[in-house]
């Protein structure tokens, strides 16, 4: 009897232990999902403007706190989140991957906020954020105009304080950062003078219109005051350095992109790729006309471009043919019949943007239209400057740009995310630049390899020209941030090594000062090419380019290191 009692007691104890373990497993499962949800809830609350862009409209009447105290609070929040994720227990390999990405991304954000401190150096953050806060309400019709107008009024009332925070925070900025801000603020002022007014013109509520007019005029006055501050006060004291240093540059790349290759080795890779593409351009130019030099061929092809009046319509017309090619050659499975709307780039984004996709956020359910922006030339350019500007959009080159931005580049990334409703919150929100831009840049080369426009050497030349531009970004970013090269040095690299017209070269050099990550276009492309080769070796005769592309995109926009892990089942070198 005693033995039976002991057995029953042991069984009960074992069941209790099993129940505890099961409950603990459920707790760990719930705690990781809850931790991710809590992190993004706080992220949206802290950054209302990003929440609006993501399609979360709970905070449409609020703006980010850009004061020094606001940044310090954000740093404390991120440090607490980092500790929580480092201690987390994901339930699966996929969640482990997402935890690794979140840990690295938070470290990268803290590096920007605590160590680099762009918020103390870059005046464009304040005017740009102010403009973006209202642009997100104007450009997407996620709610009736009167509702969005009230949100715009609420945000506009907070903008003067945002700009005042910029004045208080910025000290000894790099000259290049001030130059970028000075150009962009002209577009911001024009946006509030015309864009916001036009967007809400149809709202019939007179009281609301008067309130909007007062708030909008106050924003314009505050921006004009900020413009004067940039030109008269800040530019004379713009003696800061934009260079990160080799150590910080390497840490930022490791955190944000999970690429741990040392800068010196990256520079060797960058120059090797530059020289490889220069040789390819020489061959393609010879195929076009064996009796002309590379410079003569490129000049002749670049002279074949749209007019300022036909630039947007030309880009629009090229999209249908590109989609047809993607479908006929089974480049990738296109999950939707949607097409983007082609428009001029908003003025406040033109200082550093030639063309760009603007897709709705992952949680936007009503305003799901995507915009393909192309930057027209500024009014009043001299004939020589206008010709130089338009040469960057020559017909063959514009088609390659459209492949990058739309088919099968960034727009297909958006369509894929839209089709994968089952993605976790972390997977929906992750946005590694080397994956996002690397894929789009990879597609340019891949489309030509698959026979875009047959054997037309102009298409091949355009693709190599774009590759050379990204090669020069690769080189310039490293040379400026780890080797002490100036903006003028970088501009010369673009002009001499890549054949960029002077306006394009200057814009690209300036961009590299504030966006050191623009080397990720080529890094990402090289990562994807290596993964494709390794995946092909693994599958052998079973390899399918369509399946490779579908599976790559289905992983989301996490760093390529994570996609390699999930596709190959191992961690291995990305470059």
Work out how many domains the chain is built from and give that number: 3
**Averaged pLDDT, 138-166:** 97
In a domain, 245, yes or no: no
Say if residue 62 is preceded by a cis peptide, omega within 30 of 0: no
State which of 116, 147, 172 marks the end of a domain: 116
Indicate if 312 and 429 belong to the same structural domain. Answer: yes
List the one residue out of 553, 541, 518 whose CA is nearest residue 256: 518
Predicted local distance difference test score (pLDDT) of residue 318 = 95
Is the pLDDT at 2 greater than 50? The verdict is: no
Structural domain containing residue 14 = 2-116
Indicate if 474 and 564 belong to the same structural domain. Answer: yes
**Averaged pLDDT, 195-204:** 94
| Band of residue 574 on the pLDDT scale cut at 50, 70, 90 | very high
In a domain, 6, yes or no: yes
**Averaged pLDDT, 505-526:** 96
State which of 237, 265, 285 marks the end of a domain: 237
Indicate if 87 and 142 belong to the same structural domain. Answer: no
| Band of residue 348 on the pLDDT scale cut at 50, 70, 90 | low
For residues 112 and 28, is the Cβ–Cβ distance under 8 A? no
In a domain, 575, yes or no: no
For residues 516 and 244, is the Cβ–Cβ distance under 8 A? yes
State which of 210, 237, 264 marks the end of a domain: 237
Is the pLDDT at 455 greater than 90? The verdict is: no
What are the residues whose beta carbons fall under 8 Å from the beta carbon of 96, sequence distance 6 or more? 90
Indicate if 225 and 76 belong to the same structural domain. Answer: no
Is the pLDDT at 12 greater than 80? The verdict is: no
Indicate if 261 and 148 belong to the same structural domain. Answer: no
Is the pLDDT at 152 greater than 80? The verdict is: yes
| Band of residue 16 on the pLDDT scale cut at 50, 70, 90 | very low
Is the pLDDT at 1 greater than 90? The verdict is: no
Indicate if 180 and 223 belong to the same structural domain. Answer: yes
Distances, alpha carbon 418 to alpha carbons 101, 365, 369, 409, 411, in Å: 21, 10, 12, 15, 11
For residues 240 and 174, is the Cβ–Cβ distance under 8 A? yes
Predicted local distance difference test score (pLDDT) of residue 350 = 74
Is the pLDDT at 4 greater than 90? The verdict is: no
| Band of residue 26 on the pLDDT scale cut at 50, 70, 90 | very low
Indicate if 109 and 189 belong to the same structural domain. Answer: no
| Band of residue 66 on the pLDDT scale cut at 50, 70, 90 | very high
In a domain, 429, yes or no: yes
List the one residue out of 429, 505, 428 whose CA is nearest residue 473: 505
In a domain, 413, yes or no: yes
Q: Which two tokens stand for residue 242?
A: 């934009």
High-pLDDT (> 90) share of the chain, %: 89
C-alpha–C-alpha distance, residues 255 and 102, integer Å: 10
Provide the 3-class DSSP secondary structure of residue 356: strand
Is the pLDDT at 326 greater than 90? The verdict is: yes
| Band of residue 354 on the pLDDT scale cut at 50, 70, 90 | confident
C-alpha–C-alpha distance, residues 54 and 136, integer Å: 10
| Band of residue 346 on the pLDDT scale cut at 50, 70, 90 | confident
C-alpha–C-alpha distance, residues 177 and 512, integer Å: 10
Which helix (DSSP H) or strand (DSSP E) does residue 124 occupy? Answer: helix 124-138
C-alpha–C-alpha distance, residues 536 and 554, integer Å: 18
Indicate if 272 and 151 belong to the same structural domain. Answer: no
Provide the 3-class DSSP secondary structure of residue 478: helix
More confident residue, 8 or 80: 80
Strands ordered across the beta sheet of 341-344: 341-344, 371-374, 355-358
- Mean pLDDT of the residues in the chain: 93
Indicate if 36 and 52 belong to the same structural domain. Answer: yes
Which of 15-29, 366-380, 515-529 is the least confident region?
15-29
In a domain, 140, yes or no: yes
Q: Which two tokens stand for residue 483?
A: 């080797």
**What are the φ/ψ torsions at residue 274 (nearest 5 degrees)?**
-60, -50
**Averaged pLDDT, 295-319:** 96
List the one residue out of 53, 125, 29 whose CA is nearest residue 431: 53
Is the pLDDT at 15 greater than 70? The verdict is: no
Please tell me the pTM assigned to this model: 0.91
C-alpha–C-alpha distance, residues 233 and 331, integer Å: 53
Is the pLDDT at 200 greater than 60? The verdict is: yes
C-alpha–C-alpha distance, residues 412 and 74, integer Å: 33
Indicate if 233 and 255 belong to the same structural domain. Answer: no
**Averaged pLDDT, 367-394:** 92
| Band of residue 7 on the pLDDT scale cut at 50, 70, 90 | very low
Is the pLDDT at 487 greater than 80? The verdict is: yes
Which helix (DSSP H) or strand (DSSP E) does residue 372 occupy? Answer: strand 371-374
In a domain, 574, yes or no: no
Predicted local distance difference test score (pLDDT) of residue 351 = 61
Question: pLDDT tens for residues 218-259?
Answer: 999 999 999 999 999 999 999 999 999 999 999 999 999 999
Residue 246 burial by Cβ neighbours in a 10 Å radius (0-12, 13-18, 19+)? middle
C-alpha–C-alpha distance, residues 96 and 102, integer Å: 10
C-alpha–C-alpha distance, residues 490 and 507, integer Å: 10
**Averaged pLDDT, 191-195:** 93
High-pLDDT (> 70) share of the chain, %: 94
In a domain, 518, yes or no: yes
For residues 50 and 129, is the Cβ–Cβ distance under 8 A? no
Predicted local distance difference test score (pLDDT) of residue 11 = 43
Indicate if 261 and 336 belong to the same structural domain. Answer: yes
| Band of residue 22 on the pLDDT scale cut at 50, 70, 90 | very low
Indicate if 20 and 104 belong to the same structural domain. Answer: yes
Predicted local distance difference test score (pLDDT) of residue 442 = 98
Buried b (16+ CB within 10 A) or exposed e, 337-348: eebbebeebbbb
């Amino acid at each position: 009897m005693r033995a039976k009692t002991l057995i029953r007691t042991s069984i009960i104890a074992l069941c209790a232990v099993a129940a505890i373990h099961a409950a603990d497993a459920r707790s760990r499962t719930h705690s990781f999902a809850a931790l991710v949800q809590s992190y993004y809830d706080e992220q949206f609350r802290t950054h209302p403007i990003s929440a609006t862009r993501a399609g979360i409209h709970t905070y449409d009447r609020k703006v980010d706190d850009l004061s020094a105290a606001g940044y310090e609070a954000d740093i404390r929040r991120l440090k607490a989140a980092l500790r929580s994720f480092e201690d987390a227990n994901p339930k699966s390999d996929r969640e482990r991957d997402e935890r690794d990405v979140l840990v690295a991304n938070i470290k990268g954000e803290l590096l920007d906020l605590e160590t680099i401190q762009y918020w103390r150096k870059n005046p464009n953050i304040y005017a740009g954020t102010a403009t973006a806060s209202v642009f997100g309400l104007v450009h997407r019709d996620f709610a009736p105009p009167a509702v969005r107008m009230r949100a715009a009024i609420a945000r506009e009332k907070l903008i003067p304080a945002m700009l005042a925070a910029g004045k208080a925070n910025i000290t000894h900025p790099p000259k290049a950062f001030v130059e970028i801000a000075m150009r962009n603020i002209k577009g911001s002022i024009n946006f509030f003078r015309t864009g916001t007014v036009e967007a809400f013109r149809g709202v019939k509520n007179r009281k609301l219109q008067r309130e909007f007019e007062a708030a909008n005029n106050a924003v314009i006055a505050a921006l004009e005051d900020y413009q004067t501050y940039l030109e008269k006060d800040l530019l004379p004291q713009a003696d800061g350095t934009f260079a990160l240093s080799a150590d910080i540059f390497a840490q930022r790349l490791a955190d944000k992109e999970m690429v741990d290759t040392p800068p010196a080795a990256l520079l060797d890779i960058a120059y090797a790729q530059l020289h490889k593409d220069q040789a390819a351009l020489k061959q393609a130019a010879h195929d076009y006309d064996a009796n002309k030099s590379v410079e003569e061929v490129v000049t002749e092809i670049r002279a074949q471009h749209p007019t300022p009046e036909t630039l947007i319509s030309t880009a629009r017309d090229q999209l249908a043919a590109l989609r047809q090619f993607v479908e006929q050659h089974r480049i990738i499975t296109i999950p939707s019949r949607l097409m983007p709307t082609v428009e001029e780039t908003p003025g406040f984004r033109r200082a550093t943007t030639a063309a760009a996709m603007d897709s709705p956020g992952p949680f936007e359910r009503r305003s799901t239209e995507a915009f393909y922006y192309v930057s027209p030339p500024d009014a009043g350019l001299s004939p020589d400057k206008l010709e130089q500007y338009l040469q960057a959009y020559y017909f063959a080159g514009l088609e390659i740009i459209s492949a990058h931005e739309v088919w099968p580049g960034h727009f297909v990334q958006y369509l894929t995310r839209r089709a994968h409703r089952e993605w976790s919150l972390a997977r929906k929100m992750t946005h590694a630049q080397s994956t996002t831009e690397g894929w789009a840049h990879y597609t340019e080369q891949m489309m030509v390899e698959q026979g875009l426009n047959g054997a037309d050497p102009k298409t091949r030349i355009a693709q190599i020209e774009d590759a050379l531009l990204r090669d020069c970004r690769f080189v310039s970013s490293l040379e400026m941030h780890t080797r002490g090269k100036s903006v003028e040095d970088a501009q010369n690299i673009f002009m001499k090594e890549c054949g960029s017209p002077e306006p394009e070269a200057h814009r690209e050099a300036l961009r590299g000062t504030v966006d050191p990550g623009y080397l990720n276009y080529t890094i990402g492309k090289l990562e994807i090419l290596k993964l494709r080769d390794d995946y092909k070796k693994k599958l052998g005769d079973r390899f399918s380019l369509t399946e490779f592309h579908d599976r790559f995109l289905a992983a989301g926009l996490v760093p390529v290191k994570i996609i390699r892990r999930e596709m190959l089942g191992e961690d291995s070198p990305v470059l």
